[in-house]
Chain A
Amino acid sequence: MSENQIRFEKEKVILIASGTVDESKRYFEQQNRQFKQNTRIIMDTITSLNKSKKRGLI
């Protein structure tokens, strides 16, 4: 480990990285975006299928 690493607990623990709460929201936002996008695609598909159903009642 290079000397400029910050160490704690009698040099036994090394700081690897730091981040903000906002950075940690990335996973949630990505999942949420994908969920909304998939919902739209599935809903659009179902709607188009329902519209195109042609069944006659005698």
Chain B
Amino acid sequence: MSNPLKIFISSVGQDSLSPLRNQLFDELKGMAHHPVMYERNIGPWPRAQSVQRCLEAVSESDIFILLISNKGGSYYQEYGATVTHLEFLRANNENKTVIPFIERSVSDLYWRMNSQFEEKIQQYIEVNGQHPDSYSEIAEEIWKGHSSYPSNSHIDSYVFGFIHDLVTKGNYFEPLNLGIAPLEKIKEYLSDLFRQARTLLAIEPIIHQHIQNASLHQKHTEFSFKLLDFIKEGQITNCRLFLAHIQALMDGGDILYKKGTVFEKNIGYFEPCCGITMYKIFPDSQELILLEATGIAGDDNRSYSLADNTSFVVQTYLDSLENKLFYQPEKQLLYFTIKASKYILCLHYPVSDDFTEEIMERFQKDVFDAILNSESQLYRGFVTKLLGGLD
């Protein structure tokens, strides 16, 4: 089912604008949009609730069409603005597409006073140390002192303050002819919006992917700073917390056979890392000493002699290839070991019960790739570099 574009039609409820509002409402409805207008499908509400209800309707809309003529409209002292102005502010704050139309004679007069607004606002800032909350007083002062005021006193000064607010907030406006609803211009705007939306929708999957990537970068940055907090003068100040932070980001994942091909098949999974041990070789020593064990990793093996060729930790240290993957069938655990200069890390990953020695042998490359080609590898890569630079 289609979800039509909601278009809020906003203006002062003055008689001269009523035909335009109604014409716009009917035409937009005829174009299968969903126009929203106080007197047609919002009200009536008690006065106390009507402002709030109008603002909610603005929030629910996608497009905000604003018609400005000579009247400022009902001014609400408690808000310091008219209802129409409040509606515009809501639309602006919520990044709605605002399409303002202003009666040409009014906008022409505004532009003749624009520089005075700038001067008066500057003077206000110099005296009060801040920008005015509202331009209504400044507008009144400028308008009532303007040479055009006597012959145009039917134009409320508030209108000029409102227009200045529109301009200040970066809105362009179109001329309004009170005899004809600005439908053609609105169609142009909607067509342009449609073109922009189509262009953006075409890259929607890329934007989603980019958001995920950005979040990954943020996570990596936070992780890096956290780990660096534990490094002082080339030493790890708290091995337990250091490893705990690493373990928290070592996720599990699916193990896929022939990943990325038409033959891709899920052959099992490995669970998030359940424990880490960290060993270090000290100068002039022939032993790898256990520095810390986290999670459910045991600390039974406090040290390994480099001569112990039955130890996979020693094997990792002595081999030229820095990453190794071992399998312990009895415990259904994978040990991913990392050699980083004088340090050896051993990450323990439980593996799904459907793995056997035979399956592991057959799919060894897929299992290794599943661990290496995962987000966690970004963090392991950083840890490897970091440990490689320590004493």
Is the A/B pair a real complex?
Answer: yes
Is there an interface contact between B172 and A21, defined as CB atoms closer than 8 Å?
no
In angstroms, Cα B327 to Cα A56, docked, is 69
Return chain A residues, CB-CB under 8 Å to B102. 58
Is there an interface contact between A24 and B323, defined as CB atoms closer than 8 Å?
yes
- Among B172, B203, B334, B373, which residue has its beta carbon within 8 angstroms of that of A41? B203
In angstroms, Cα B310 to Cα A2, docked, is 18
Which A residues form the contact surface with B (CB < 8 A)?
1-2, 5-6, 8-10, 12-21, 23-28, 30-31, 34-35, 38-39, 41-42, 45, 48-49, 52-58
Is there an interface contact between B329 and A14, defined as CB atoms closer than 8 Å?
yes
Return chain B residues, CB-CB under 8 Å to A5. 361
Residue among B195, B358, B372, B374 having the largest count of chain A Cβ atoms under 10 Å = B372
Return chain A residues, CB-CB under 8 Å to B217. 35
In angstroms, Cα B326 to Cα A1, docked, is 13
Return chain B residues, CB-CB under 8 Å to A49. 196, 199-200
Q: Which 4 A-B pairs have the closest CB atoms?
A: A17-B368, A1-B357, A8-B312, A18-B321
In angstroms, Cα B377 to Cα A57, docked, is 53
Given A24-B380, A27-B372, check contact A17 B324 (CB 8 Å): yes
CB of B174 within 8 A of chain A?
yes
Is there an interface contact between B368 and A19, defined as CB atoms closer than 8 Å?
yes
> 28 A–B contact pairs at CB < 8 A?
A1-B357, A8-B315, A9-B310, A14-B328, A15-B315, A16-B326, A18-B319, A18-B324, A18-B325, A19-B322, A19-B323, A19-B368, A21-B323, A21-B381, A24-B322, A24-B384, A25-B381, A26-B373, A27-B373, A30-B373, A31-B216, A39-B210, A42-B203, A42-B207, A52-B195, A53-B192, A56-B172, A58-B174
Given A14-B360, A16-B327, A42-B206, check contact A28 B315 (CB 8 Å): no
Return chain A residues, CB-CB under 8 Å to B335. 13
What does DSSP make chain A's interface, helix, strand, loop or mixed?
mixed
- Among B319, B326, B373, which residue has its beta carbon within 8 angstroms of that of A13? B326
Which B residues form the contact surface with A (CB < 8 A)?
102, 104, 107, 172-175, 192, 195-196, 199-200, 202-203, 206-207, 209-210, 213, 216-217, 310-312, 315, 319, 321-330, 334-335, 357-358, 360-361, 364-365, 367-368, 372-375, 377-378, 380-381, 384
Given A10-B310, A41-B203, check contact A35 B315 (CB 8 Å): no
Is there an interface contact between A12 and B207, defined as CB atoms closer than 8 Å?
no
Given A9-B312, A23-B372, check contact A38 B210 (CB 8 Å): yes
Is there an interface contact between A16 and B321, defined as CB atoms closer than 8 Å?
no
- Among A14, A18, A38, A41, which residue has its beta carbon within 8 angstroms of that of B323? A18
In angstroms, Cα B217 to Cα A54, docked, is 36
In angstroms, Cα B324 to Cα A32, docked, is 24
Return chain B residues, CB-CB under 8 Å to A14. 326-329, 357, 360
What does DSSP make chain B's interface, helix, strand, loop or mixed?
helix
Q: How far is the CB of A54 from chain B (nearest CB, A)?
A: 7
Q: How far is the CB of B112 from chain A (nearest CB, A)?
A: 13
Return chain B residues, CB-CB under 8 Å to A8. 310-312, 315, 326
- Among B175, B203, B207, B323, which residue has its beta carbon within 8 angstroms of that of A23? B323
Return chain B residues, CB-CB under 8 Å to A6. 315
Q: How far is the CB of B318 from chain A (nearest CB, A)?
A: 12
Is there an interface contact between B377 and A28, defined as CB atoms closer than 8 Å?
yes
In angstroms, Cα B337 to Cα A15, docked, is 11
In angstroms, Cα B381 to Cα A21, docked, is 8
Given A8-B311, A31-B378, check contact A24 B361 (CB 8 Å): no
- Of chain A, the residue at the smallest CB distance from B104 is A58
- Of chain B, the residue at the smallest CB distance from A48 is B199
- Among B209, B326, B374, B375, which residue has its beta carbon within 8 angstroms of that of A38? B209
Q: How far is the CB of A17 from chain B (nearest CB, A)?
A: 4
In angstroms, Cα B378 to Cα A55, docked, is 45
Q: How far is the CB of A6 from chain B (nearest CB, A)?
A: 8
In angstroms, Cα B251 to Cα A31, docked, is 17
In angstroms, Cα B384 to Cα A24, docked, is 11
